[in-house]
């Protein structure tokens, strides 16, 4: 059985609540992803996506340097534990239409599992693809 801690990314870039959304956008650009965890210390308090920034800041003509991550983020964050089975993680991604799940232990983020991490485990390629297709269906 493969569990999330075997495939997760451990060096996670995060934003703080009061960081400007440009800081989150810069991280997304630098690591080529569409979402970033928002943390207080090592505790995940939200997720901010490129879509959040566009809809809640750019489209409304707000100054991206003065709007903070807490103004745009989603605070209802889906997380998993490091011992979560990768099959379950893929199902969670599909059910919640998300591509990245913070991995939390004892209330602190210790990593993140992305859809790409699931695809690195050969036996899970179909599940990762199925999760992604469910995510994509909901977005359209």
Model confidence, pTM: 0.83
Residues 18-60: tens digit of each pLDDT: 999 999 999 999 999 999 999 999 999 999 999 999 999 999 9
Asked if residues 99 and 132 have their Cβ atoms less than 8 Å apart, the reply is: yes
What CATH class is the domain 4-139? alpha beta
In the numeric block, which tokens belong to residue 70? 């807490």
Confidence of residue 122 (pLDDT cuts 50, 70, 90): low
What is the spatial distance between Cα 43 and Cα 65, in angstroms, rounded to a whole number? 24
Q: Which sequence spans correspond to the domains of the chain?
A: 4-139
What is the spatial distance between Cα 13 and Cα 96, in angstroms, rounded to a whole number? 22
What's the confidence (pLDDT) of residue 125?
45
């Amino acid at each position: 059985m493969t569990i999330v801690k075997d495939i997760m990314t451990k060096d996670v870039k995060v934003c703080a609540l009061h960081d400007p959304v440009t800081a989150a956008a810069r991280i997304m650009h630098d690591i080529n992803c569409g979402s970033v965890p928002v943390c207080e210390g090592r505790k995940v308090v939200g997720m901010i996506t490129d879509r959040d920034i566009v809809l809640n800041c750019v489209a409304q003509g707000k100054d991206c340097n003065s709007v903070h991550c807490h103004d745009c983020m989603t605070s209802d964050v889906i997380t998993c534990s490091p011992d979560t089975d990768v099959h379950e993680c893929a199902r969670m991604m599909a059910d919640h239409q998300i591509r990245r799940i913070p991995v939390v232990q004892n209330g602190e983020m210790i990593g993140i599992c992305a859809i790409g991490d699931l695809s690195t485990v050969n036996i899970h390629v179909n599940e990762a693809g199925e999760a992604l297709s469910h995510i994509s269906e909901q977005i359209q």
